Amino acid sequence: MDTVKPKTTPKDFFLWLGAMVALYISAVSFILLSHQYIDIWFPNEMIMYGDPYSGPIRFAIASLLVMFPLFVWMLRMIHQDIRKVPEKKEIWVRRWLVFITLFIAGLVMAIDVIILINSYLQGDLSIRFALKAGVVFAVLAGVFSYFIEELRGTWERKAGLSVAIGGVVSLVVAIAVVSSFLIIGSPESARLMKFDDQKVADLQNIQWQIVSFWQTKETLPESMDELKDPIGGFVPPLDTQTGASYTYERTSDASFKLCAVFNMPSRDTAGVSTPMRPDLSNENWQHAEGEVCFDRTIDPERYPPYKKTI
């Protein structure tokens, strides 16, 4: 007598597909988040400018907060269905997606080990690289082991063990997410840092306009109103947070200072580059909280006056 093959319902298809997509995104996000921790504990000396941590960390947090609970919820529903209807273990979408996941996890683990051994043989193996490779291997090994047991039906037979493992993994993810706020701060602090970054960018823009003014007229403006250029379209920017004007003061024939009120001390970066004047990107724009003034002196040899044609 022929065995009737179980049918795959739309619910089964989308539950398994959604669970696998959520798993892949969650695994990648956890790896990215762990790599950011490693970069902070073992900093890369080649990273000199910008903010190399906050963006990737926030993306990983957002992904984990959404996709990991979805993965746990959908997998729980899948296992509940299989316990009610054991024949659903044999539906094609389950077998195909589980085997694809095992294949991808096994392949990436093998590649990870190859890269690790190759780096060691070349003498390029660093602690930072080894830890990152270890995180990738550990996460994928966990995924691989979990779905091997999935094929064996372990999680349907041992519901308590499935819940316990889900709790441990959820705790690890929660610790990783919560710990990240010690690095990037609260959403409110992130908002204030963006205001501060914009203030630095505005001051750089104003500084470049002052330098250009000096090169053109061989004198510094008495006020920022003199920088207005209807043809070029430049208008001195205002503080986007308060709407107030930045403070400019001419201190000598070739010296001036620019002031702004900052929300918090600057991060440990070397400045904010500007595409208009990359030669100004290494200027010191580090600041404390509160009103900070930046003293500048124009070097005539570096920024000589423009030659005037008659």
> pLDDT tens for residues 115-157?
888 887 877 678 888 888 999 999 999 999 999 999 888 888 8
What is the average pLDDT across 282-293?
A: 84
What is the average pLDDT across 18-43?
A: 88
Q: What is the pLDDT of residue 44?
A: 63
Give CA angle at 204 (290, 232), nearest 5°: 130
Q: What pLDDT band is residue 268 in, cutting at 50, 70 and 90?
A: low
Residue 280 pLDDT exceeds 70: no
d(CA 25, CA 60): 9
Q: Are 54 and 184 in contact (CB under 8 A)?
A: yes
Q: What is the pLDDT of residue 54?
A: 60
| Helix pair 10-41, 127-152: axis angle to 10 deg | 160
Q: How far apart are the first and last CA of the chain?
A: 104
- Segments making up each domain of the chain, as ranges: 10-185, 189-297
Q: What pLDDT band is residue 203 in, cutting at 50, 70 and 90?
A: very high
d(CA 225, CA 209): 12
Q: What pLDDT band is residue 162 in, cutting at 50, 70 and 90?
A: confident
- pTM for the full predicted model: 0.69
Q: What is the pLDDT of residue 258?
A: 95
**Dihedrals φ, ψ of 295, to 5°?**
-85, 130
Tens-place pLDDT, residues 3-16: 566 788 888 899 99
